[in-house]
Amino acid sequence: WLSPLLYGNYTSVLSAIREHVTGDTIDLGCGDKVFEGAIRRQATSYESLDIETRADGVTYIGDIHSMSGVSDAQYDSVVCIEVLEHVPHPWQALSEIHRILKPGGVLILSVPHLSRLHEEPNDFFRYTRYGLQSLLTDQDLTIVSLRPYAGLFSFLGHQLSMAMVISLWHVPVVRQLIFFVNRWTCVALCRVLDYCIDRRRVFAAGYVVVARKGDSHV
């Protein structure tokens, strides 16, 4: 509930995890492991990879361009949330993801379409639905679903939410008040405006994609 953009991404990814994650699973670019609990409830095992340690117990420290420590066809599910925009060679990263997925395995991927610059200088790309289709198809990953997770108003509301919440978060009583006001005004209102005004999602803030590796490929 910190912002309409974060709410849209979190709920959309959570829904995809609940529907599609099974078996041995790796969380690529895990960061603070926001989805670890949700993944563990669905998966047989949970492992993680990041470029640096941001949370306890990261399984692999490394780059998704070259996951040399990970065996071929090791995972039933791969989760990769808001990472691919920070990768200079996304086709290479997706090739590696294809390699570590078992035949029939599932990738859950989210990427931004509208976003301010962040984590500079490692901020390389923004993705359209057509760019995602091209990248995934080229790596022999079949799209199961591809859905926007928020829209223009959520993107704009995110900037306002962050300005309000971050500026007042250190004030104990005001913090609770501003969180409540932000939740029921900015977050709720922006979600409604996205739904009512941009039904075609021309201004999609980002996408959550579920894609499957073919059964005949290792």
Q: Which two tokens stand for residue 156?
A: 């704009």
CA dihedral (81, 197, 134, 131) positive or negative? negative
Tokens 């035949």 map to which residue?
Answer: 103
The 10s digit of each residue's pLDDT in 113-138 is 999 999 999 999 999 999 999 999 99
Least confident among 7-16, 72-81, 175-184, 197-206: 175-184
**What is the phi-psi region of residue 151: left when phi exceeds 0, alpha when psi lies from -120 to 50, beta otherwise?**
beta
- 165-196 pLDDT tens trace: 777 777 877 878 888 888 988 999 999 999 99
Distance CA 194, CA 153 (A): 6
- pLDDT value for 2: 86
pLDDT-derived band at 217, boundaries 50, 70, 90: very low
Give the integer Cα–Cα distance in Å for 83 and 58. Answer: 16
Evaluate if residue 218 carries a pLDDT over 50: no
Asked if residue 191 lies in contact with residue 4, where contact means CB atoms within 8 angstroms, the answer is: yes
pLDDT tens digits, one per residue of 78-119:
999 999 999 999 999 999 999 999 999 999 999 999 999 999
Residues 77/105, Cβ–Cβ less than 8 Å:
yes
Which pLDDT does position 216 carry in this prediction?
63
Please give the pLDDT value at position 173.
Answer: 79
> Which of helix, strand or coil describes residue 209?
strand
Alpha-carbon gap, residue 143 to 211, rounded angstroms: 4
Percent of the chain with pLDDT over 90: 83
How high is the mean pLDDT of the chain? 94
